[in-house]
Amino acid sequence: MIDEKQFVKIKWGMKHKTYYVNNGFEFTKTGDEFLVPLNQTHDGYAGDVVVHCDFCKEERVIKKSRYDESIKKYGKYYCSHCSQQHTIEERRKSHYNRCL
């Protein structure tokens, strides 16, 4: 799971400057970092986020894009260890079903 209210670091750059200025953030200078609540980041934010594995509850720092991928695939976030376990489990299940 992911805490949408956690703050992430964004660097001021040309790409998303307008978006953040329009959202009430004060522009300092290009390259400066500032903190943004995750749920207010620009579309496609792919930087680091703190997440908790939905299985073992362990805290991890991963790229947002990886988290999104996992949600798309499993509907949940599994850390690398648990996703391996999960894949084995799924494979075993589908194998079992085929043998019925």
Q: Which of 18, 56, 63, 73 touches Zn ion (CB under 5 A)?
A: 56
SS3 33: strand
Considering the complex, state which of residue 55 and residue 74 has its C-beta at the smaller distance from Zn ion: 55
Q: Which of 32, 66, 34, 33 is nearest to 49 (CA)?
A: 66
| Amino acid making up residue 46 | A
Residue 13 CB, nearest approach to Zn ion (Å) = 34
Name the one range near Zn ion by CB under 5 A: 12-20, 29-37, 74-82, 88-96: 74-82
The site for Zn ion (CB under 5 A) is made up of 53, 55-56, 79, 82
